[in-house]
Amino acid sequence: MTVRVRKVRRRIRRPSFDATVSPHAGGYAIVMPYPPSVNHYWIRAFRGMRISDEGTEYRDRVKQSLTEHRIESMLGEIRVCCAVHFPDARKRDSSNLWKVLLDVMQYGGVYPDDHQVKTHRMVDIDIDRKRPRVEVWLDPLPDGWDRYGELPPHCLQSVTGRP
């Protein structure tokens, strides 16, 4: 008995616009098209994981846009804030976007390594069916920044043992 395996080709969702960059408080404000989730960006391959065709196309298109804006790579520790405008009303886990966004910005030359991102926040804003996007603000952290100042008081007490 032979078993037929049918390959399913997924439709690649193309970004509807190119990324834009503007200077912002020593860092950058970047508006990117809504990315594929981490579950669509990374796929299982024969020997581990690899970036999917959809992920590669998104990454290359954002890199091309960032290269055209001639941004300088940020050095040192960075704070990232994101505002997400979803493409539809489906229930989504916005934390699935973090790794994709950080990887794409590193590949695009915004910073040499995503380990430089020391603090990040993401806010789910609204639904924008015509132009789903992610607005990203990158700010350099000053030398000697208080990493404990980023924690809510109840977390701070359990981490440091001080009130």
Q: CA separation (Å) from 14 to 17, 20, 56, 58, 109? A: 9, 16, 11, 7, 22
H-state helical runs in the chain:
38-41, 53-68, 98-107, 153-160
Q: Are 6 and 112 in contact (CB under 8 A)?
A: no
Q: CA separation (Å) from 73 to 15, 21, 60? A: 24, 13, 17
Average pLDDT per 10 consecutive residues for the chain, totaling 163 residues:
55 60 79 86 84 88 87 88 88 84 91 89 87 89 70 58 60
pLDDT given for residue 12 in this prediction:
46
Q: Are 97 and 37 in contact (CB under 8 A)?
A: yes
pLDDT given for residue 13 in this prediction:
54
Q: What is the pTM of this model?
A: 0.76
Q: Are 107 and 9 in contact (CB under 8 A)?
A: no
pLDDT given for residue 68 in this prediction:
87
How many Cβ atoms are within 10 Å of 79's Cβ, its own excluded? 17
What pairing do the DSSP bridges indicate for beta strands 78-86 and 117-127?
parallel
pLDDT given for residue 107 in this prediction:
92
Give CA–CA dist 77/140, Å, rounded. 6
pLDDT given for residue 162 in this prediction:
60
Give CA–CA dist 47/54, Å, rounded. 19
| Burial of 144 (C-beta count, 10 Å sphere; 0-12/13-18/19+) | exposed
Task: Give me the domains of the chain, ranges plus CATH numbers.
Answer: 29-160 (3.30.1330.70)
